[in-house]
Structure 1
Amino acid sequence: MNQHRTRGRALGRGLMWLAMLALVAAAAWGWHDFNRFARTPLRVTTIGDSIDIARGSSFKAIVADLRQQGVTRAHPLYWRALAEQMRVAGRLHAGEYALTPGITPRTLLANMAAGRVLQRNLTIVDGWTFQELRQALARAEKLKHDSSNLDDAAVMQRIGAAGENPEGRFLPETYAYVKGDSDLDILRRAHQAMVKTLASLWAGRAPDLPLATPYDALILASIVEKETGKPDERAQIAGVFVRRLRHHMLLQTDPTVIYGMGARYAGNIRRSDLTTDTPYNTYTRPGLPPTPIALPGKAALQATLHPAAGDALYFVARGDGGHVFSSTLAEHNRNVDCYQRKRCP
């Protein structure tokens, strides 16, 4: 009887140890699998994917959304355990978050807890017109298009610049935004950036420029911007225009004619276009046009306010993006024959 009891107790202890070993093994496997989940990249293969967390979303709903998008197959308990381990379960912020290839569950939760929402960029290109800027804003993804039904005057009023002509008033730069931002927000920021930049550059301008106001500088800079895309030519181009203004010569610049033609411009300028008067035709009207003709970048503004010295009063395009400068009309005419009419001696 005692032997049977002894064997029974031994068997019980053996089974208990086996059960404990099984529990330890299961716990070890579970811990290993949990850590594997936390550090293994999510199933993201497309650049530009994101998850949008609505305000008030529960943690359960967030995980369900991730599972529905197919970026994770992990059990929700794993996500809950990770969030509790990181102490972020109740601190996830609403917003749009990037799902970049290689992102792990731990990194994603850390981003959500810190509110590192996905940022997009809109670049305002040097030399765009205001209408081209509006078209770019209309194409921008995840941006509220609050200006779509507003005319230019209403747009300027909404951004706090009532009465201003919008052309040239927005600084070409790259502006970051997040989902839910308005196109008016970007316009307001770009307008304020131009105001600040123009004021700063105007304060440090070269002496004795034939420009009465910062707005005059903005107008001339827009012409310089459209005349050349070569950084090393901007100050030279500006110098030509400054000297022509000093000598009360017509500016005679094609970009202003094109701007004044508006929708009539079909890709080339005819002789009749140069003689057809518009407020922007600098072949028929002296001085600066009434407004800028484009959005000048900071480099064009800097060149306009610090023009290169010299005696050149004319320039002609070489056909390779650059220009040939001359100080006399006779020399200029020879350059026109050579580079425009292909009649080089």
Structure 2
Amino acid sequence: MQYNPLGSSGVNVSRVCLGSMTWGLQNTQSDADQQIAYALEQGVNFIDTAEMYAVPPSPDTYGKTEQIIGNWLARNQDKRSDIVLATKIAGNGLEWIREGSNITRQTVIAAVDDSLKRLQTDYIDLYQLHWPNRATPHFAKQWPGMLKFTEVDTLQQTADMLDILEGLNDCVKAGKIKHCGLSDDTPWGVNQFLNLAKEHNLPRMVSIQNEFSLVHAKDWPYLIEQCVHEDIAYLPWSPLAAGSLTGKYLNGARPEGTRWTFMQRNGIFRDTPNAQQAIKQYVELAHAHNLTPAELALAWCNKVDGVTSTIIGATSMAQLKEDIGAFNLTLSDEILGAINRIFRQYPMPY
């Protein structure tokens, strides 16, 4: 296993980050225990979760993933220091979480305390804002005309960010969290947080996790360039595009028990004609070179310059072994050239 610095934190994390959002819905405590044990054996030291999980989110599954991790930690206290544990505070819009309110100084403090209880730990290594208070061009909202940036109250948003940083600072000073990060944000958001932290001597964001894959690489090059030069770890989530890059959803297929058979609060926005065509070609390319489609997609993501650690997720041990194994692969120039030709044909298929 290879390791990279987690931005400016001074902490090293494995190139593979074990995602956990299926634990508590598609996966049981026993499943999670097995996944954690195997990942640690392979050198993975980075685990990501969120108070909102399991996914798809619901009042019934809220907090369950953190509870599952907490149960494991309670039985494996000697391994706590070996793990870089990351979790996230949910943003606005979910009525069963703080009545759908914005992230504020006070909600950060309360949410950190609640996560610590569920996780059964004294500290969180990386505490992330799951999404900003403002609407951002993620989750298929990146197309022109879908958001009106000119209608955003810049001063209010900046004031909100300062308020949030003060809450994070309270938690850092109390020893409850060590480092802070972002999720589903943009270059403007990153820049504002960095400037405010420097101006007011508040915690500096050390990472950002955004969706990034062969079929959704809109953060390249501008946000990733910023991350490299500002020493911020870039952490791709959904490198298999919610499982679609495995090819299992081609031609309308919906295998029993898979993610796309569960409720999707935003619809299955990744399922477009262009995405189907792109994925079909990636699947054929992988098979032509004796690779699985997942291996192709994950090995490519791991190779992208500026990527720190890729967040994977699996609902079976076979999937987990395949996913982690992909990070030991080196794609040939021939395969990379073929990927590039498909990518140029379908640069943003959903």
**TM-score bucket (shorter structure):** under 0.3
Larger RCO, structures 1/2 (Cα 8 Å, 6+ apart): 2
Q: Between Structure 1 and Structure 2, whose CA radius of gyration is higher?
A: 1
User: Which structure is higher in strand share?
Assistant: 2
TM-score by length of 1: 0.22
TM-score by length of 2: 0.21
User: Which structure is higher in helix share?
Assistant: 1
